[in-house]
Amino acid sequence: MRPPPKSWPPTKGSEPLPNAPRIAPPVSAARPAGKLRGARALSGPLPWLLPALIMLGLFYLYPIAEALRLAFTDARLFDQATEPSLDSIRRVSQSAALPVILQNTLVYTVASVLGQLGLGMAIAILVVRAERARLRGTMALRTLVLAAWVIPAIANGVIWQLLFSEAPFGAINSALRMVGFAPVAWLSDPSNAMLSAVIATIWQGTAYSMILLYAALKSIDPALNEAAAIDNATGFERFWFITLPHLRAALLVNAILILIMTLNMFDTILSLTGGGPGRATEVLSLFAYNTVFQSFELGRGAVLSILLLIISLTLTAAMVVFLPRERK
């Protein structure tokens, strides 16, 4: 296309040509680059994600940033004046109780996560097979398992404290006496207290694992197991070579979620044993809670919370690596 003349409409000298049509100058169809980028941004996912990003920043990123700031101060819970200091970090790193706390956290977390995974898978398989066989009571079993999950963790600890009680009204010891066994010091013996805390946590958290694994089991094609049964595969072989590979992603996601929940759980232990006897059941989350709300040392509590966050992120990142990737 030929560019229009500099003077529009065409003129001869300074006067317009006679009977020359007045044509409007051509307007470029292209938008300015800035407006085009703005239109693309508004039509993309950013406006829809912005409220969620604001809420995440307000309720997650800001508390983390505030904990980092407090970790480098000597802040106390009821003192207004704070000064920048490394004293909180130094005191936490030199604490004689920290190795015991970390060991308790490791034992409690590993035992609770494995117990919830194993028991949740067993109940999920049982429910799926009962549904396929059209047995009665399947709905009642699922409801019974889910009932434990909806109980608040603090109430869960109180319930199990009554069950494990060494008083005459303790249900478990009363049952042991009825069958001729000696009562067990569930909560007062340091060697049994951690086991009691793990049992209470598994009882409440199993329902969560059961729900996720139940959904994953329902997605497995029954024809695979039927074909394997025709080939004379045993029940264990069908589980090992068919069920378990199909549950790999669900198991890893479930393990990550209950790992984070277990690391952050302290209310069940708080109401069950209070961290005792001594420090036998005191985990890192409960140690941070006691540091802030009993010792009123906000700086040390912030250091412990950051340590707990680092442990959670490290373990989560290590487990995410094993998640199966979709093949393109």
* Interval 70-80: pLDDT, tens: 899 888 888 77
Q: What confidence tier does 200 reach under pLDDT thresholds 50, 70, 90?
A: very high
Q: Treating both helix axes as pointing N-terminal to C-terminal, what angle do 190-218 and 153-164 enclose, rounded to 10 degrees? A: 130
Q: What confidence tier does 38 reach under pLDDT thresholds 50, 70, 90?
A: low
Q: Is 42 exposed, middle or buried (0-12, 13-18, 19+ CB in 10 A)?
A: exposed
Start-to-end CA distance of the chain, whole Å, equals: 46
Q: What tokens appear for 25 in the block? A: 């100058």
pLDDT at 209 over 60: yes
The secondary element (H helix, E strand) that includes residue 11 is strand 11-12
Question: 243-252, pLDDT tens digit by residue?
Answer: 888 888 899 9
pLDDT at 41 over 80: no
Task: For the domain covering 99-222+237-292, report its CATH number.
Answer: 1.10.3720.10
**Percentage helix, strand, coil for the chain under 3-state DSSP, each rounded to 5:** 65, 0, 30
Calculate mean pLDDT across residues 105-110: 95
Question: 280-318, pLDDT tens digit by residue?
Answer: 999 999 999 999 998 888 999 999 999 999 999 999 999
Which residues, including other chains, have CB under 8 Å from residue 82's CB and lie 6 or more apart? 70, 73, 74, 75, 299
9 upstream amide cis, omega within 30 of 0: yes
The residues spanned by each domain of the chain are 99-222+237-292
Q: What distance lies between CA 100 and its chain's CA centroid? A: 25
> 73, 70, 92, 71: which is closest to 83 by C-alpha?
73
pLDDT value at residue 295: 87
pLDDT at 81 over 90: no
Q: How far is CA 216 from CA 116, 213, 244, 257, 303, in A?
A: 16, 5, 10, 15, 39
| Percent of the chain scoring above 70 in pLDDT | 85
pTM of the entire structure?
0.81
